Amino acid sequence: MRFTKKDILGLEYLTPEEITLIIETARTQKDLLSRPIKKVPILRGKSVCTLFYENSTRTRTSFELAAKMLSADTSSVSVSGSSINKGESFKDTLLTLESMGIDLFIIRHEASGSSHYASQIVKSHVVNAGDGLHAHPTQGLLDMLTIYENKGKFEGLNVCVVGDISHSRVARSNVWGLAKMGAHVRVCGPSTLIPPDFDKLPCEVYTDLDKALEGADAVNVLRIQKERMDRGFFPTIGEYVKLYGITSERLKGCKDDVIVLHPGPINRGVEIDADVAYNHSVILDQVTNGVAVRMAILYLLLGGGNAEII
């Protein structure tokens, strides 16, 4: 099949076939990470730019490593230390960088829809690396790759996303991607942290964690974003831990072979117990899969539309 999309803005815009192609490509590319020479020449001469208006360790590093392993040239622009601090607008920054010959932008911005906007401004490819509360498609895809590697399928799986749903672009990307592939997605959290529009998404909404975890094949635990928790969404961290913290005890209602995911960074002892995080989770596999998924996306996007099966 051909991959004809110019941009990756959210999983809701991809077809199940496109998602399958990305995941299959990532699975085979992962082999590269375990080789002595972790570099192939395919993207030689392509320029990739990460443009980040928010902080990030793993997403940015993972994109840059993925690009470098495929031999693309990378440059990174962040707010501090750039002309953005002098008041240059998002649009002008994009146009300036595009004029320098950037073939693909990886954008993180605090405004939902910013990647859409960028994709209309520039002719280069755009990959959304997180836009406000909207989407984080590569995180969704790496979660899906991790689930697929462990379960061998998506059809009929019960996947439970727990935590701060309303501030989570990861939750939305999980719901769209997994539901497209035939999994049943449940989201669970305090009612103050579940946005009212979630009943319109292809998922079930729970506030009782034990019910949500019943028979789950995979649990995706979201980070409690302490920087956003000063607005009284729940009374105390202690109460949150008691009601929604993931411990081995709570996981007993899940399937025996349940896997636990977390997008990181972890607040140990808050949304996830240290024992579960270190001994019973696939968090580090997710990080590895992140590089693989991003390599797949760069390869497919920059190959641009005329792929033929040979």
Given the rule CB under 8 A, which residues bind other proteins?
A: 1-3, 21, 24-25, 27-29, 31-32, 35-37, 39-42, 45, 70, 296, 299-300, 302-310
Minimum CB distance to other proteins smaller for 216 or for 291: 291
Minimum CB distance to other proteins smaller for 229 or for 307: 307
Minimum CB distance to other proteins smaller for 71 or for 247: 71
Minimum CB distance to other proteins smaller for 20 or for 247: 20
CA 17 → CA 12, 145, 154, 203, 304, distances in Å? Answer: 13, 14, 13, 21, 17
Name the pairing type of β-strands 125-131 and 104-109.
parallel
Minimum CB distance to other proteins smaller for 5 or for 58: 5
Cβ atoms < 10 Å from Cβ of 97: 18
Minimum CB distance to other proteins smaller for 24 or for 275: 24
Burial (CB count within 10 angstroms: exposed 0-12, middle 13-18, buried 19+), residue 15: exposed
User: Minimum CB separation from other proteins for residue 137, in Å?
Assistant: 18
At 220, the amino acid letter reads N
CA 146 → CA 178, 250, 260, distances in Å? Answer: 12, 22, 10
User: Minimum CB separation from other proteins for residue 38, in Å?
Assistant: 9
Minimum CB distance to other proteins smaller for 46 or for 186: 46
Distance between CA atoms of residues 29 and 231, nearest Å = 43
Q: Is the dihedral of CA 222, 228, 230, 232 positive or negative?
A: negative
User: Minimum CB separation from other proteins for residue 14, in Å?
Assistant: 15
- Beta-carbon contacts of residue 226 (< 8 Å; ≥ 6 apart): 267
User: Minimum CB separation from other proteins for residue 294, in Å?
Assistant: 14
Distance between CA atoms of residues 196 and 198, nearest Å = 5
Minimum CB distance to other proteins smaller for 39 or for 91: 39
Both tokens assigned to 43: 């993207």
Both tokens assigned to 88: 């240059």
User: Minimum CB separation from other proteins for residue 17, in Å?
Assistant: 12
- Beta-carbon contacts of residue 6 (< 8 Å; ≥ 6 apart): 119, 125, 126, 301, 304, 305
User: Minimum CB separation from other proteins for residue 66, in Å?
Assistant: 13
User: Minimum CB separation from other proteins for residue 45, in Å?
Assistant: 8
User: Minimum CB separation from other proteins for residue 26, in Å?
Assistant: 9
